[in-house]
Chains A and B, each alone.
Chain A
Amino acid sequence: MFFHIVLERNMQLHPRHFGPHLRDKLVAKLMRDVEGTCSGRHGFVVAITGVEDIGKGLIREGTGFVTFPVKYQCVVFRPFKGEILEAVVTMVNKMGFFAEAGPVQIFVSNHLIPDDMEFQSGDMPNYTTSDGSVKIQRDSEVRLKIIGTRVDATEIFCIGTIKDDFLGVINDPGAAA
């Protein structure tokens, strides 16, 4: 699920950046530092959409670095248990398959793949129905439901299922997000 939230961060800026473009430098550094990171609490920071407030800088003793408290708006992506996501399969093995939905990795174990799909090993390992009409392999797009998340301080990993109504391979490529 996506959220638009306001976060705060203390930015340390080297004295060489002090000058007329200090603010721009600060924002550029903020984007470099924050976008693409993941915190267990807020999820993945997808993009910074605006800087709300830059507080007064404080010179750190001994180094000359200045710390600015920065308030910024950003879009975060945070997967939840029970959420339905569309994802791209990245790896298939006999234990199940891995998929990615943006920055999130999801593992679907084989007992959460419908029973009529069999694992086929080979160059291109895949899960296929007996009549061959449905096939899950690398780069397939699937719709899955998250049934569990593992949230560490800097990492979120999910396990999912495609063993439910309307889940599984998305046949129509146009429907894939």
Chain B
Amino acid sequence: MNHEATNPFKRLVKLAARAFYDDISTKGDNQPKTGRSDNRGLVVVVLDALTRRQWAREEDLAKELKLHSKQLRRTLRFLEEEKMVSRDHRKETAKGAKMYNAAIAATTDGQQNGKEHEEKIKLHTHSYCCLDYAQIYDVVRYRIHRLRKKIKDELEDKNTVQEYICPNCGKRYNALDALRLVSMDDEDFHCESCNAALVAESDKLAAQDIGDGDDNARRRRREKLKDMLQKMEIQLKPLTEQLNRVKDLPVPEYRGLQAWEAQASASARATHDDANGSDSFKSAQGQGFGGTPMPYFGETKVEVSIYGLEPKEEDAKSNNASTPMKVLPPWMIKQGMVLTSEQRGEVKQEMKMEGSSTKTEILDDKKSSDEYLKAYYAAVYKMQQERAVQSQQESSNAENVNNGDSSTSNRVVGMKSKRQDDDGDDDVDWEEVPTAGNATENFKVNDLNVQAAASDIDEDDVDWEEG
């Protein structure tokens, strides 16, 4: 579900990275421009890495990308200015670090690694970063709009300052000099030095000897501009197509760091209780690469499909005797007893209903978990309502639970997603783990005049000191 929702946005980021940031190098001003310090393409690598994460701690990211943290920070600051990335900084206590680790564990493989954990409990400022997909969508559209507008305006001579030439002495003026050039005697502009009537630069009839060459240059320039516009449209086509594709999709949102953490850890606890969850935990442990914990690496995410939100899953569950899921009433009762006291305490504290997780089901697929978080919270609410209904039903009919709200129509779909869950996890996980840089696909948009794009953006900055 969220796979489809996030992936087009990830692709959008990857395309935009290649179109606009391919040959951007983020360099300190004091660094010499030697070949060795040339870090063009770094921005693309960082953006790609971020598509595989949600909120990432910057020092961890640096480690994983094998970058110097300063270098990464510079890149991220650049991306923040470009409105691609949102960042959060905070002074962290041990508790804060724990929170984050719990959250990250929840969104990766559902378990925490103790060693990694302890390493991180330090008392200084940490920075976090995350892609802001909603904003990226707007920024990319705006950027393309400005690119197009700039070239078109230039083609149509819009917003260009008219130049004037003295046919007599060749002195050039422009429209900003107009006030000085106007004379009260007639309606012409006059040269300040020789008082001859000026001609507009494009007016080739009058200023033949001077104007002709210029006019040719002008025509050539127009052709070049047209060419450029055409090339731009072709080269940006994958990007614009992706923008259209993404247009009506819900934007993956990770909100603030705090909110994200709270939700991620809350849902982690819920999944711990899951009877089905233990299976996927085992398979997920394979990710660790023999003791090297890789939180957030690859796209392996946990998704919980919840009874009530997706009746089809529940239906498959309750009708399929071979799965650990059983008909609800006895199972619910069992669950209540099986729960260890700490688990029960946790869950109770978290959402005041220990039975809720009995209906959660883990699909250990390569899916990102933001949608899952949303869905989870929506479902918790729904379940509370449904539990009320169920308890009524239980009193009258202890065996039959699913009569009312779970339809049988989607049964096949539910089964299918189950099977995918079973055979999909191991190989998919391993496949996704490789390094950040080369997980990129060949989205390469041909070279683009990024310089022009960059200068275009701040072209309209008001400048008090201008002129």
Residues of A whose CB lies within 8 Å of any CB of B are 40-41, 78, 80-82, 91-96, 98, 105, 107, 109-112, 121, 125, 147-152, 157, 159, 161, 163-164
Given A41-B465, A80-B462, A111-B202, residue A148 in contact with residue B161 (CB < 8 A):
yes
- Contact partner of B178 (CB less than 8 A), chosen from A78, A121, A151, A159, is A159
Shortest B202–chain A CB gap in Å is 7
- Taking a contact as CB atoms under 8 Å apart, the answer to whether A41 and B464 are in contact is yes
Given A95-B187, A112-B158, A164-B158, residue A81 in contact with residue B179 (CB < 8 A):
no
- Taking a contact as CB atoms under 8 Å apart, the answer to whether A107 and B179 are in contact is yes
Shortest A154–chain B CB gap in Å is 12
- Contact partner of B467 (CB less than 8 A), chosen from A92, A110, A150, is A150
Given A111-B202, A125-B187, residue A163 in contact with residue B462 (CB < 8 A):
no
Number of A-B contacts (CB under 8 A): 76
Interface digits, B134-172 against A, CB 8 Å rule (1 contact, 0 not)? 000000000000000000000001111110100000000
Shortest A134–chain B CB gap in Å is 19
Secondary structure of the B contact surface, majority rule: loop
Residues of B whose CB lies within 8 Å of any CB of A are 157-162, 164, 175-176, 178-179, 182, 187-189, 200, 202, 460, 462, 464-467
Given A81-B462, A121-B187, A151-B466, residue A159 in contact with residue B202 (CB < 8 A):
no
Residues of A contacting B200 in the complex (Cβ-Cβ under 8 angstroms): 95, 109-111
Shortest B214–chain A CB gap in Å is 15
- Taking a contact as CB atoms under 8 Å apart, the answer to whether B175 and A159 are in contact is yes
- Taking a contact as CB atoms under 8 Å apart, the answer to whether B158 and A109 are in contact is no
- Taking a contact as CB atoms under 8 Å apart, the answer to whether A98 and B178 are in contact is yes
- Contact partner of B179 (CB less than 8 A), chosen from A40, A92, A105, is A105
Shortest A106–chain B CB gap in Å is 9
Residues of B contacting A41 in the complex (Cβ-Cβ under 8 angstroms): 464-465
Residues of B contacting A152 in the complex (Cβ-Cβ under 8 angstroms): 467
Shortest A93–chain B CB gap in Å is 3
- Taking a contact as CB atoms under 8 Å apart, the answer to whether A95 and B176 are in contact is no
In this complex, the member of B179, B182, B202, B467 whose beta carbon has the largest number of chain A beta carbons within 10 angstroms is B467
Residues of A contacting B179 in the complex (Cβ-Cβ under 8 angstroms): 98, 105, 107, 157
Closest B residue to A95 using CB positions? B189
12 further A-B pairs in the complex, CB-CB below 8 A; given A98-B178, A111-B162, A111-B200:
A81-B460, A81-B462, A91-B182, A92-B187, A95-B164, A95-B200, A109-B178, A148-B175, A157-B176, A159-B162, A159-B178, A163-B158
Shortest B198–chain A CB gap in Å is 8
Residues of A contacting B158 in the complex (Cβ-Cβ under 8 angstroms): 112, 161, 163-164
